[in-house]
Every structure is written in C-alpha cells, then in structure tokens.
Structure 1
Amino acid sequence: MSKKNDIQLLRITHLRGPNIWTYRPALEVWLDLGELEDFPSNLLPGLTERLTGWLPALVEHHCGVGERGGFLQRLEEGTWMGHVLEHVVIELLNLAGMPTGFGQTRSTSQRGVYRMVFRARDEQVARCALQQGHALLMAAINDEPFDVKAAVELVREQIDDCYLGPSTAAIVGAATDRGIPHIRLNDGNLVQLGYGAAQRRIWTAETDKTSAIAENIASNKDLTKSLLKSCGVPVPEGEVVDSPEAAWEAAQDIGLPVVLKPLDGNHGRGVSLELTERADIEAAFKVAEAEGSDVIVERYVPGDEHRLLVVGGQVVAAARGESLWITGNGRDSVRRLIDDQLNSDPRRGEAEEFPLETIILEREPAMCLLLERQGLNPESVPAAGQRVLVQRNGNVAIDCTDDVHPDVAFAASLAARVVGLDIAGIDLVVSDISKPLAPQRGAIVEVNAGPGLLMHLKPAEGLPRPVGQAIADHLFSADETGRIPLIGIGGTQGGATIARLTAWFLHLSGKHVGLACGDGLFLANRRVETRPSATFDAGQRLLMNRDVNAVVIENGPASILGHGLAYDRCQVGVVTDAASIDGLVHHDVHEHAQLFKVLRTQIDVVLDQGTGVLNADDALLADMAELCDGSVLLYTTNPEHPAVQAHRARDGRALIGLPEHIQIFQGQQPAGRVPLQGAAAQRVLATLQERHGLNADDARRALMAAVGAAWSLGVAPELVNAGLETFATTLPA
C-alpha cells in the first residue's frame, strides 16, 4: 500500500476550564484526515498489530464498547484515524505517568475534518503528547519504525518540567477532594486554594500563614537553638566558628565527638557526623563552609535522625533515617558498588517522585570526607566482605509515625511554636523515638520551614501518611470551602447589562463585587478595564483578587467554546437565551439547537447547594433543568406556563413577569414583588431594549434573570427594588 499523507492538525485549543466536553481542562484538536478519511483502521493492513505491539496497554481501553478490549474491537471492526489518535495520545500520557482517562472524537460538518479532545491539565504536556502520538500513528499507518520509549521519555520530561511537585500536588489534591478550587499562580509551585477573599496560598509546604520572621529564624541554626534552649527544648550544645582552627577549639570545649554543619544549609548538605580527630574536623569545616555562610560545631547526639512534620501545632507524620553501607567484593570500586548496591534501588531517582535521591559522590563532599576517614576514595576497591559506611545518617524515608512518644511529639510541636512556623519539619536525633527524649539524651537539631513531604507521601518503608490533607485542613476549617458567591451568566443577548444589574444588586447587599462582562472589568462598581472582559482571563483575574467576596462573570458561547469557564463550579448559573449563533461558525455551530450543548456547560457546574436560573419561555433552556445538580429557578412571562406551574407545585422557585410587575414565588406562595411601572424600572427596561435590540417581553425576561440570580443568593425583593432605583444605565468612565 502506498504511503499515506500526514493527518493535518488544523487547530489546537487549550480549554482551560469546564467546557462542552468535560469539567476539567482539555486540549481540543481539529484534524483533517485527508485521504485517510477513506481508510478506516480495518482497511490499513497490519495497523492494529503494529499499534498493539508498540502500545500493548491499548487492550485496557474500554472505548464506547464499555469493557476491556473495547478499543481493539473498534480497531478490528474499523474506526477512523481521529479516534485512533485520541487513544494513542491517551496511552502515551498513561505511560509517561500522567493517567488520562477521558477523550472524545467527533466529526464536523466538513467531510474528513474531526474534533478530537483529551483531558489535559497542562497545555505544554498535552501538545507534546499530541506531537508524539501523531508521529507514532503515522509511523504505524505507513509501517515505519518508531521509538516508543523515546516518545514516552519526551512526554515524561515535559511533565517533570510543567507539573506541580509532589508536595504541592498532594496539598492541591487534598483540597480538591474537599471541593476547594485552586488556581496555579506561576509556572512553579505557587498555588491559590479557593477564590477571592476566601483564598489561601501555598508554595510547596509554605503557606500564607507562614511567618517570614519564622522562616528567617529557622534558616539561622544558631539563633533557632538559642530560642529553643530558652524555652526548654532539648538541643545539642554548639558554637558558630569562622575557621578550621576555631572549629577544633570549639570541639574540644564542647566535648568529642562533634558534628559540623553549615549554619544556614538544608537537605543535609555539608553535614559531617561523629568527628573526633582534628584533621577530620578541619576538613569537615571546609565541606560545611562551601554549603553555607557560616559553620556551626555541635555536640554529637547518638542515635538515628528523624524528621517529624508538624502542621498547625500537631505532629502528623514522622520518618526515620538509616545509615548507608556497601560491601566490597575485591573487584569493584566504591563508586561502582554504590551504583550496584544503592542506586539500583528502584526507590532512588533524580525526579521528585522518588523518595530517595540518587547518590552522586561529586555533589556529596560530606560522603567523600566520610570515605577519606575510612582510608578510601571513590575509586578505591574495598576487599571482599569489607563493609564501607557511605552515609552515617540522612536517608530519612522509613515511616515511624505510629511509634512517636507523646513526649517527643510535644517537644517537636513546641519547637515549631517557638520558632513561629505553622508548618515545620523538625529534625531530631534519638535512639528510640518511642521513648522520652531526656533519658536518651536525644535532641532537636534543626527546625525547617517549607519541609518536603515526599518522605511521608512515599516512604521507602511503612505506610504513606495523608499530610496533604492535614495541611488542607489546617488552612480551611471543616465548614470552609474556599468559595465566595459566584454567579455565571450564559446566553447570547443582553448579557453585559444583565451581569451589571446582578452585580449591582449584590453590591447593595453589602458585597465587594467583582464583575467581568462585555462592558469591561469592574471592582465594586468601579470600571478598571474598559475593553470587553467576558473572557476566561478576566474572570480569573477577579477570582485571584483577595478583596473580592462575590463575583459575577458573563459567559458567551464563543468564550465557552474557545476557552472554557474561568471557574470550576458556581453558586448560581444563569442561562438567558439561545437566540443568536452569530460568530460561531468558526466553532462549527450552524444551528440554534447546537447551542444547547454549549450553554448547558453553565448549568453543569452549578454546585449541589446552588441554583440554576433558566428562561422557561425557551423550550431549549427549560430542558436544562434536569442537568442542574442544585435547585432550579424558572422564569417566564406566561402566568399559565405548564412547566413553571408544575415546577411550583413541587415547591420550586419561580418568577412570573407581567407588564406591571415581576411576581416572585416560592412554590405556591408569593415571596415578593418587583414593580415595573415606575420610572426607574422603565428606564432599565428601555436600556435593555435599545442597547441590545430586545423586544418588551425579552427585556422583561432579561431583568428577571438578574432578579432571579440575586434572589438565589438571598438578596431581598425590597433591595432589588432599591437597586432598580439606583442602577446607572450609562457606563462609568
């Protein structure tokens, strides 16, 4: 068979928020199959065999069949290449360590052109997986060689570069499990949990509750020890020194053996233990000095190093270290023995997901010094059976949380409080952590700000600990969700004025409101951006603003199709109409009925405790009521509307708009009235008609959308009336 031309990638769009495909970010790709439109998989000899040979786990893809082997069945029966590419990309992501279970491929109105989508938290990772998947599929189609391992490695490298580190990811994951939303604020690990005024921020295991003063104290080991000692926390005696000679003098004063370490170091770098000889102490000074600004000499505390994680004053996890040894064979060097006996451990690696680091002697001068003290260097060949100590302590990755004695936990918690850290890694040395410190002469040797969590999430031995959950619970009490009142307004006509009206009603109720709509970006009724702001980016800007405690965001169909919603869920979702498809041909929307799938996105994200506000006079929108997780409020200009009557009979909320007034109902009971005959109300209705080209009934429905949204958040009808009297129909400068 002749070589087939490449599938053309016509357009790639990263949908950053909930969209027509899924609640989560996704990559949407428009594909032109070209001549391959006439060649489904069953007409391409050997394709299935080549794909399953390269990607054997494709057998696990259920596809539309709904069971294991479903996708392979589709391949054998015949499916089109857009669908095949979807599964190839998903499998590459799975192999690279980023499981991705969602994907869809749908035809468009153009022959041979498809929309393929797959879930993607990060755009660069998704694009890399797409690029490699595209190349793999074309190689399979044309029976050409392809390096699957290299492709997977490229995707994995992109994941390592772009995704959150394991400590941050654990906290974000725990927050997500509690329904707390998040926004990533930079390319690293700075993350906002929650929206607006309800937000908290984390940067790995530091939070916006973490004191900068406390961090500076923790970075100065001598000051930390001084404060701990003054409060009765056991610490080893020590002295800051400025030369090798001073280190030896201090060691003699303190009493041998001693420990030398950098005053402001971390991760155990430059630490030398149990030193007794002058030459070793002076050599250790140089190692420590290279890692920090000053050097401290301390009394050596016998026992194992332990790391206790303190969150909000409580010890939530503990890990123990162990010494590292190699055994000589009379043939191999120390360097080779380390690789064979230690670095071969599958728990060791360079990436953050490995609980243990790869040992590279060139970056571990303290290890080299320890070897020298044993008369060895990296190229030495130990005798057969000779045991060589590579690291006296460190390697803290054995869970011992359940063994911590209450006395030890109290000392660790007190140390964190004395320094002033809300989250702290407390390093202590003790022979038996299940017994009190004092009888063992155990001591706290360091207090660390921003401690790593991986040793507790993926211990080399023992149970993982839910430390991410502990931190999320520390930041948010049991009844806090990190959410503020958020109203999303979807539709095609009058959205900007409806959004401004809604925001004004909330403003009068005492909220500091952020508004993003076609008329600009507003903070507390002050326009801070004049360009149209019914966009994803504008909405996110509001959600990041700490001063905002309520948000209203306009979401037109084009924004939903092009970017997705700026938020994950909302308290109130409004859909006003499906009247216009102007400007949507680019998204292959040619009929009004297609707007249902687009606008339902706004209703899909309403919270369980929220409200969907729907225009019952549009039969297309009324059908969305069953999709809402929360309650539903229907509005109509027809007092006898059968769907509204049935809804009220079930104690549902409704608005009925007559020429004279809007009547508000809770079930069958009147709950208030908004007069429409006054000059202020007429002025607002006239604005809706003149500015947006609405007729009288549609203008009344638009006003009801704003009233319904405000009432859903507890704004009283009387306050709505006052809002109509004071609403500025002209835009502020």
Structure 2
Amino acid sequence: MSKKNDIRLLRINYLRGPNMWTYRPVLEVWLDLGELEDCPSNLLPGFNDRLTTALPALIEHHCGVGERGGFIERLRDGTWMGHVLEHIVIELLNLAGMPTGFGQTRSTSQRGVYRMVFRARDEQVARAALAEGHALLMAIINAEAFDVPAAVARVRDKLDDCYLGPSTAAIVAAATDRRIPHIRLNDGNLVQLGHGQRQRRIWTAETDMTSAIAEGIAGDKDLTKTLLKAVGVPVPAGQEVKTAAEAWEAAQDIGLPVVVKPSDGNHGRGVTLDISTQADCEAAFKLADAHGSSVLVESYIRGNEHRLLVVGGQVVAASRGEAAWVHGDGRQTVTQLVDSQINVDPRRGLTEDFPLNRIRVAEDGVILLDLQRQGLTPESVPAAGTAVLIQRNGNVAIDCTPEVHPEVAHAVSLAARTVGLDIAGVDLVTEDISRPLAETGGAIVEVNAGPGLLMHLKPASGAPQPVGQAIIDHLFAEDESGRIPIVGVAGSRGGHQITRLVAWLLHLNGRHVGLACKDGLFLGTRRVEKRDSACWDAAHRLLMNRGVNAVVVENDAASILRDGLAYDRATVGVVTDLDGIAALAEFDVQDADQLYKVLRTQVDVVLSDGASVLNAAHPRLVDMAELSDGEVVFYAEDGTLEAIRHHRDRGGRAVFLRGGAAVLAQGPAETPGANIEALLRRFGSNATDAATLLAAVAAAWALGISPELIAAGLDTFVPDLHLA
C-alpha cells in the first residue's frame, strides 16, 4: 500500500461557550481528507486491527449506535477518517485523565472537507490532544510505529500545566452541580463563581471572604498560639528562638521531648518531632531555619497528627496521619526498603493525583535527621527484622471524619474563628480524636489558610468528603445561583437597537446594566467603548464586572459560529430573523436550515424560569418555541397571526401592534403599551422598524418590567447616541 498524504487541518477554532454543537466549549476542526476521502476504514487493509490494537478502549465508545462497541461496528461497516480522528482524540483525552464523551463530525459542501468537534475543557489541552491524535491516525493509516503511551504522557503533561488543581476543580464541580456559572480568571486557580455583582471568587481554598489579616495571623505560628491560648484552645507550650543554643535552652525549659519547626513553614517541611538530645535539637534547628524566617521550639504532643477542615465555622472533614516504618531484611538499604515496602503502594506518587506522596529519602531533611538519630543513613542495610522509622507522621490522608468528638470539633471551630479564617485547615495532635482533647492531652498545633483539599477528596483510606460542596454552600445561600439577569439578542436585524432599548428599560427599573452591542460597550448610560462590541470578548468582560447586576448582549450568527455565546445560560433570549446567510459563507452556512441550527443556540440556553422572545412572523422561529426550557413570548406587527392566536388561546404572552401602539397580551387579556409610531419618528426614516421595537418591548416584559414603565421608558429613550 502506498503511503497516504497527511489529512490537512484547515482551521482550528475554539468555541468558548454554548454553540451550535453543544452547551459546552468545544474545539472545532475543519479538515481536508484529500485522497483519504476515497478510503473509508473498511477499505484500508489492516487499518481497523492496527487502530484497535493501539487504542483497545475504543470498544467502550458507543458512537451513534448507542451501545458498547458502537464505534467498532462503524469501523467495520466503513467510516471516514474525520470521524475516526474524533474518536482517537477523545480516547487520548480519556487516557490522559480528562474524560470526554462528546464529539461530532459532519461533512461540508466541499467534497472531502469535514467539520470535526470534540468537548474541550481547556483549549491548550485540546490542541495537544488533536496534534497527537492526528499523528497517531496517520501512523496507523500508513502502518508506521507510534508510541501511544508517550503521546498520552504529553497530553497529560499539558493537562497538568493548564488545568485547574484538584482542590479548585472540586469546588468548581460543586458549583456546576448547583448550576452556578464559573469563569477562570488566570492560568492558575483563580476562579470567579457567578456573574457581575453576585459573583464570588476563589483561589484554591481561599475565597474573597478570606481576611488578609487572618491569613497573616495564620502565617505566624507563634502569634496564632498566643491568640488560641487566650481563648482557651489547648496549644503546646513553646517559644521562638534565634540560635541553636537558644533552641536547646528553650527545650530544657519547656521540658523534653520537644518539637522544632519553622515559624512560618508549611506542608510539614522542616518539622522535627520527639527531640530529647542536644545534638538532635541543634540539627533540627538548622533544618527548621532553612525552611522559615524564624524557629519555634514546642513541647512534643504524643499521638497522631490530624488535619480538620473548617468551612464557615463548621468542621466538614477530618484526616489522620500515621507513622511510616520499614523492616530490614539484611540485604536492602534503607532507600531500597522504602521503595519496596512503602513507595510500591499504588496510592503513592509525585503528583496531586495521588493521596500519598512518594517518599524520597535522600531529599527529605527530616527523614535524614530521623535516620541519623537511629544511627542510620539512606545507604545503611538494617538487620533482618529491624524496624526503622521513616516518617513520624506520614501523609495525613486517612479519613476519620465520623470519629471526631463534638468537643474536638468545637475547639477546632473556635480556633478557626479566633484566627479569623472562613476556611481553615487546623492541625492537631491527639492519640484518639474520638475523645476530648483534655482527656488525651492533645493540642492544636497550627491553623492554616488556603488548605489543600486532596486528602479529603481522595483519602488513602476511608470515605471521600464533599468538601467542594461545603465551600460552595458557604459562599452561596441555598436559593442563590450567582446569576444576574442576562438578555441575549440573536439575528441580523435591529439587534443593537433592541439591546439598547432593553438596557435603557432595565436602567429605569433600577438595574446597573452592562451592554455589549454594535454601537459599543456601555456601563449604565455611559458608553465606555465606541467600537463594535457585539462579540464574545466584550460580553465576557461585562460578566466579570462587579459593578453590573444585569447584562444585555447582541449576538449575530457570525459571533456564535466564531466563539459561541459568552454566557452559559440566559434569562431572556431573543431571536429576530433567519436572514443574513450571504455573510456566512466562510462558515459554510448556505441555507435557512443551517442558520436555524446556529441561532437556536440562543433559545437552547434560556433558563427554565426565563423566556424566549421569538418573531411570530417567521414560521421557522415559531417552530423554535418548542426548544425553549422557559416561557415563550411571541411578537409581531400583526396580532392576528395564527401563531399568536394559538399561543394566546393556551394562555401564552404576545406583543403586537394596534393603532400605532404596542399591545401586551396574555391569554384573552390585553394591556395597551408604548407608542411605537412616536418612537419610530424619533429614530428617523429607515433607521428601524416596528417589529424591532416590539421585540424590545416583549423582552422587557419577559424580564418582569411593568407595561407602564416600558411605555414611559420608550417615551424617554433617545435614539441618537450623540444626544444621549
């Protein structure tokens, strides 16, 4: 078989919001199969076997068949390479740890050219998966070698670089479960939950309610202990020291054994436990001094270390650590014993995907010091049966939430409140967390801001705790969604006029409105940018603006095809027409059926308690009503249209023209409204039409603005931006 030429990737476009394919972001790829258009999968000798050998989990892809093995069936029957590429990319993402179930491939009007899309939570990860999938597909077509595990590793590396950390991802997932929207604000873990004035922000497990003063207190362990002791929370006795000599003197004053640790360290770095000799104390001081700005000497509390997570004053999760030991065999070194007896545990690894850390003996100063105290080095070979202590408190990753005694929970909650943190990781040492601290001699040793959540999400043993949900419930009341009213207007006629009118009426209704339309970007009645702002970027900026509590956006078909919608859901969605096809040639939109699929996106995202506002003079837009999750409000100049009469017979709402004025009708009831003819005169000849103004009236009414305010608002609206 002669070598086939590469499939050409003509265009790669990231659709960042709801689009004609799905509610979620996707990577859209235009590809040219070239000569492979004549070579479906069943006509390439050995192709199917090579593909399923390289990616055996393709058997799990249901594809359009709807059952396990569906894609394999399509391969045997013969499917084109664009469709195959879609499934290869999805499988690579699955293997890399970003499960992806959605993909579609459709032909275009040009022979051999296809549009292929797949779910893309992150653009860079999706592009990496596409590149690897493309290379893998061509290698399989041409019976060439390809290292699949290496490709998966490269995609996973990109995922690790670009995607949210596990703590942030858990919080965002909990927000999604409650249908609270989110916006990622940087390449790290700063995330906005909600929109406009109703937004909250998180940065891993810190929130915009986390006090900077409290965070500063938590970073000063000596000050933290002073405050906790003042309110009756048990803490170990201790003092800050400047030199190794002072450390030993303090240890003797406090009473041996002691703990030596940095005053502002974290993650247990530089902490040495159970010190009873001067040599060990001086060595521990040197280690602690390298990890912090000063050093603390504290009394040693016997027991296991525990981490309790406090959210909004309540303990929501608890984990316990345990000492890590190895047992000599007379043959292996300490390092080899750690690898064969501890690191072999599949729960241990070097990334946040693992609940337990892989132990690197030679790189951990605390472990080296503890070995030294046992007369050992990493290269020592312990005698058979000899127990060697590696970590006095290993990873705190054993869930013990059900065991926490109420008095312990009270003390921990009080500690978090005393420091002033809304979310805190409180470290305590006790021999038995199911008993009060007074009975066990336990004490709280640290209060941490921005605690990691992984130990509670993926414990080494025990049940995961819903800590992401607890944080979301802390940030948002049960009846809050973080949403503000959003109005989206789609179509090619009068969108800028409709959006400006609706924004004006919302302003009169007491809202702080952000508006993005062809006339510019507006905050309230002030135009802050004059350039065309009917685009994703401008609308996205409004959703991030803490000063707005309502947003109005103009969307034409081209912007939806290019970027998708800037919002995941809308309160009101307006669709005005199915015109403007001639301007969409670059997107291969050539008829009304194709344009219908694009503009229905605006209706697809309407909330169940929102409304779709549709032009009843267009039969296809009347058909669009059945797609709306919310109410439907029809509008048209002619109130006798069958669609309007039928809608009213069922108690629906409609807006139409009679005697030059808008009529707002619900069922048989009619309310006279705004003077449309007068407003048309103010706009000037040929500047707009009655249907456009009626669309604005219908959208405002759907938002709950009263007919009286709508009429008064249109009477005061100034169409000329130079006079506004």
Pairwise same-fold verdict (TM > 0.5): yes
1:221 aligns with 221
Which runs of 5 or more structure 2 residues have no equivalent in the other structure?
none
Does 1:473 find its partner at 2:473?
Answer: yes
Q: Work out the percentage of aligned pairs sharing the same amino acid.
A: 67
Letter in 1 for 2:301: V
Instruction: Report the Cα distance in structure 1 between the residues aligned to 2:363 and 2:467, rounded to whole angstroms.
Output: 30
2:536 aligns with 536
Instruction: Report the Cα distance in structure 1 between the residues aligned to 2:400 and 2:672, rounded to whole angstroms.
Output: 62
- SS of match in other structure, 1:584: helix
The question of whether the paired residues in 1 share the 8 Å contact of 2:211 and 2:421 is answered with yes
1:326 aligns with 326
With the length of structure 1 as denominator, give the TM-score of the two structures.
0.98
Selected match of 1:727 from 717, 720, 724:
717
Instruction: Report the Cα distance in structure 1 between the residues aligned to 2:91 and 2:332, rounded to whole angstroms.
Output: 41
Does 1:682 find its partner at 2:681?
Answer: yes
2:564 aligns with 564
1:447-466 equivalent positions in 2, closer than 5 A: 447-466=447-466
1:634-673 equivalent positions in 2, closer than 5 A: 634-673=634-673
| Pairwise CA distance, 1:298 | 0.3
Instruction: Report the Cα distance in structure 2 between the residues aligned to 1:731 and 1:329, rounded to whole angstroms.
Output: 86
- Single out whichever of 59-68 and 722-731 deviates more from structure 2: 722-731
Selected match of 2:705 from 697, 706, 715:
715
Does 1:702 find its partner at 2:701?
Answer: no
Instruction: Report the Cα distance in structure 1 between the residues aligned to 2:461 and 2:138, rounded to whole angstroms.
Output: 44
- Single out whichever of 535-544 and 717-726 deviates more from structure 2: 717-726
- SS of match in other structure, 2:539: helix
Which runs of 5 or more structure 1 residues have no equivalent in the other structure?
none
Deviations 1:70-112 (A, max 9, x none): 1111111111000000001001111111110000000000000
- Single out whichever of 448-457 and 63-72 deviates more from structure 2: 63-72
Letter in 2 for 1:715: I
Deviations 1:361-411 (A, max 9, x none): 343101110010001111111111111101001410000000000000000
Letter in 1 for 2:263: L
The question of whether the paired residues in 2 share the 8 Å contact of 1:348 and 1:355 is answered with yes
The question of whether the paired residues in 2 share the 8 Å contact of 1:681 and 1:725 is answered with no
Instruction: Report the Cα distance in structure 2 between the residues aligned to 1:717 and 1:272, rounded to whole angstroms.
Output: 73
1:429 aligns with 429
Deviations 1:570-616 (A, max 9, x none): 11111011121242111001223321000000000001111000001
1:160-175 equivalent positions in 2, closer than 5 A: 160-175=160-175
Instruction: Report the Cα distance in structure 1 between the residues aligned to 2:517 and 2:363, rounded to whole angstroms.
Output: 54
The question of whether the paired residues in 2 share the 8 Å contact of 1:580 and 1:592 is answered with no
The question of whether the paired residues in 2 share the 8 Å contact of 1:520 and 1:528 is answered with yes
| Pairwise CA distance, 1:681 | 4.9
| Pairwise CA distance, 1:659 | 4.8
| Pairwise CA distance, 1:725 | 2.1
1:545 aligns with 545
The question of whether the paired residues in 2 share the 8 Å contact of 1:287 and 1:365 is answered with yes
Q: Tell me: CA distance 1:368–1:672, structure 2 relative to 1, closer, same or farther (3 Å).
A: farther
Letter in 2 for 1:505: L
| Pairwise CA distance, 1:340 | 1.5
| Pairwise CA distance, 1:205 | 0.2
Instruction: Report the Cα distance in structure 1 between the residues aligned to 2:86 and 2:211, rounded to whole angstroms.
Output: 47
Deviations 1:239-270 (A, max 9, x none): 00000000000000000000000000000000
Does 1:383 find its partner at 2:372?
Answer: no
| Pairwise CA distance, 1:209 | 0.3
Letter in 1 for 2:229: K
- SS of match in other structure, 1:3: coil
Q: Tell me: CA distance 1:317–1:672, structure 2 relative to 1, closer, same or farther (3 Å).
A: farther
Letter in 2 for 1:263: S
Over aligned residues, Cα RMSD in angstroms?
Answer: 1.0
1:445 aligns with 445
- SS of match in other structure, 1:213: helix
The question of whether the paired residues in 1 share the 8 Å contact of 2:362 and 2:378 is answered with no
2:625 aligns with 625
Instruction: Report the Cα distance in structure 1 between the residues aligned to 2:277 and 2:566, rounded to whole angstroms.
Output: 64
- Single out whichever of 296-305 and 584-593 deviates more from structure 2: 584-593
1:418 aligns with 418
- SS of match in other structure, 1:88: helix
1:97 aligns with 97
Instruction: Report the Cα distance in structure 2 between the residues aligned to 1:405 and 1:295, rounded to whole angstroms.
Output: 32
1:61 aligns with 61
- SS of match in other structure, 2:551: strand
- SS of match in other structure, 2:318: strand
- SS of match in other structure, 1:14: strand
Deviations 1:477-522 (A, max 9, x none): 0000000011011011111111111101100100000001111111
The question of whether the paired residues in 1 share the 8 Å contact of 2:675 and 2:715 is answered with no
The question of whether the paired residues in 1 share the 8 Å contact of 2:488 and 2:553 is answered with yes
Deviations 1:677-700 (A, max 9, x none): 43x45313x36x32xxx5xxxx11
The question of whether the paired residues in 2 share the 8 Å contact of 1:662 and 1:704 is answered with yes
Does 1:242 find its partner at 2:232?
Answer: no
The question of whether the paired residues in 1 share the 8 Å contact of 2:311 and 2:423 is answered with yes
| Pairwise CA distance, 1:728 | 2.0
| Pairwise CA distance, 1:530 | 1.3
Instruction: Report the Cα distance in structure 2 between the residues aligned to 1:620 and 1:677, rounded to whole angstroms.
Output: 27
Instruction: Report the Cα distance in structure 2 between the residues aligned to 1:516 and 1:332, rounded to whole angstroms.
Output: 69
1:299 aligns with 299
The question of whether the paired residues in 1 share the 8 Å contact of 2:673 and 2:710 is answered with no
| Pairwise CA distance, 1:452 | 0.3
1:515 aligns with 515
Letter in 1 for 2:182: H
Instruction: Report the Cα distance in structure 2 between the residues aligned to 1:341 and 1:711, rounded to whole angstroms.
Output: 70
Instruction: Report the Cα distance in structure 2 between the residues aligned to 1:658 and 1:383, rounded to whole angstroms.
Output: 100
| Pairwise CA distance, 1:235 | 0.3
- SS of match in other structure, 1:234: coil
Instruction: Report the Cα distance in structure 1 between the residues aligned to 2:668 and 2:224, rounded to whole angstroms.
Output: 68
- SS of match in other structure, 2:128: helix
The question of whether the paired residues in 2 share the 8 Å contact of 1:268 and 1:394 is answered with no
Letter in 2 for 1:116: M
Deviations 1:644-670 (A, max 9, x none): 111111111111123511100122211
The question of whether the paired residues in 1 share the 8 Å contact of 2:674 and 2:715 is answered with no
1:255 aligns with 255
| Pairwise CA distance, 1:328 | 1.2
Across the two proteins, how many residue pairs are aligned to each other?
Answer: 723
- SS of match in other structure, 1:637: strand
- SS of match in other structure, 1:656: strand
Deviations 1:155-180 (A, max 9, x none): 11111111100000000000100010
- SS of match in other structure, 1:260: strand
Does 1:281 find its partner at 2:281?
Answer: yes
Deviations 1:513-563 (A, max 9, x none): 000111111101111111111111111100000010000011110000000
2:22 aligns with 22
Letter in 2 for 1:629: D
Instruction: Report the Cα distance in structure 2 between the residues aligned to 1:328 and 1:536, rounded to whole angstroms.
Output: 63
- SS of match in other structure, 1:285: helix
- Single out whichever of 23-32 and 712-721 deviates more from structure 2: 712-721
2:184 aligns with 184
Instruction: Report the Cα distance in structure 1 between the residues aligned to 2:102 and 2:327, rounded to whole angstroms.
Output: 49
Instruction: Report the Cα distance in structure 2 between the residues aligned to 1:138 and 1:485, rounded to whole angstroms.
Output: 48
- SS of match in other structure, 2:434: coil
1:343 aligns with 343
2:592 aligns with 592
The question of whether the paired residues in 1 share the 8 Å contact of 2:490 and 2:554 is answered with yes
Letter in 2 for 1:454: L
- SS of match in other structure, 2:21: coil
